[in-house]
Amino acid sequence: MTAALQPGNAAGGPGSEAARVLVAGVGNMFLRDDGFGPEVARRLTGDPLGPAPGVRVEDYGIRGMHLAYDLLAGVDLLVLVDTVPPDSPVEHGTATGPGSIRVLRVGPEDLDSGAPLDPHGMDPVAVLGRLRSLGGEVPLTYVVGCVPADLTEGIGLSAPAAAAVPRAVQVIGELLAQYTSTQA
Domain segments of the chain as ranges: 18-183
CATH class of the structural domain 18-183: alpha beta
Q: What pLDDT, on the 0 to 100 scale, is given for residue 59?
A: 93
**Tens of pLDDT along 97-115?**
899 999 999 877 777 655 5
Distance from the Cα of residue 178 to its chain's centroid: 16
Q: What ranges in 17-158 are assigned the alpha helix state H?
A: 36-45, 64-72, 124-131
Structural contact between residues 73 and 137, judged by C-beta atoms closer than 8 angstroms: no
Per-residue confidence (pLDDT) for residue 19, from 0 to 100: 52
pLDDT of res. 2: 37
Is residue 34 within 8 Å of 27, Cβ to Cβ?
yes
Alpha-carbon span 129 to 76, nearest angstrom? 16
Q: What stretches in the chain show pLDDT beneath 50?
A: 1-18
Degrees to nearest 5, angle at CA 153 with 171 and 110: 45
